[in-house]
Amino acid sequence: MSWQQQIHWLFSTKKKDIANSREFIGSADFDYKVHGFEDLRLHATLGADIAKGKQTTDQTPAYQSNGESYYGKHGYESILKRNLSLSAYAQYYHDFNDAPKNHFDIMAGYEYQHFWNNKKKITTGALWGRQYQKQALMLIN
């Protein structure tokens, strides 16, 4: 970028936002019949939703929408979230010789969910503006 383009951005562009994010969503399902004990079945389901994002915001001194920073502003916000789930159960199912009259079915299970997030937001003011002023002076000279 030439010095003229940098000066133009410095004084004409008021706000610049850049954001990047990544996300993973997945699940797995397991079903197992115990050999030698075919009436017993074990089942588990696992799931995850994991996301991470970061946004950077630059405001030149010309950006005065709310008047909170005379010299411009620089800041970023990052977010990380993890949503995890687990479902597991064991089932015993048996039909006796007289199936219409005698049937045995029992199930025991467990469920778990965990929702977690972490946010960071950092904003700096006047020092960023001085950096802009130094850049402008260096580009002009």
Report the chain's terminal Cα–Cα distance, integer Å: 16
Q: Which residues on adjacent β-strands are paired with residue 41?
A: 33, 91
Confidence of residue 26 (pLDDT cuts 50, 70, 90): very high
C-beta neighbour count of 1 within 10 angstroms: 7
Confidence of residue 112 (pLDDT cuts 50, 70, 90): very high
pTM of the model: 0.64
The answer to whether 65 touches 97, Cβ cutoff 8 Å, is: no
Counting residues of the chain whose pLDDT is more than 90, the rounded percentage is 43
What distance in Å separates the CA atoms of residue 141 and residue 130, rounded to the nearest whole number?
Answer: 17
Query: Coil, strand, or helix at residue 128?
Result: helix
Query: What is the per-residue pLDDT for 58?
Result: 78
pLDDT digits over 97-111, tens only?
A: 876 778 889 999 999
pLDDT digits over 41-85, tens only?
A: 999 999 999 999 999 887 776 666 655 566 677 788 999 999 999
Between 112 and 14, the more confident residue is 112
Residue that the structure tokens 């006796």 belong to: 96
Confidence of residue 7 (pLDDT cuts 50, 70, 90): low
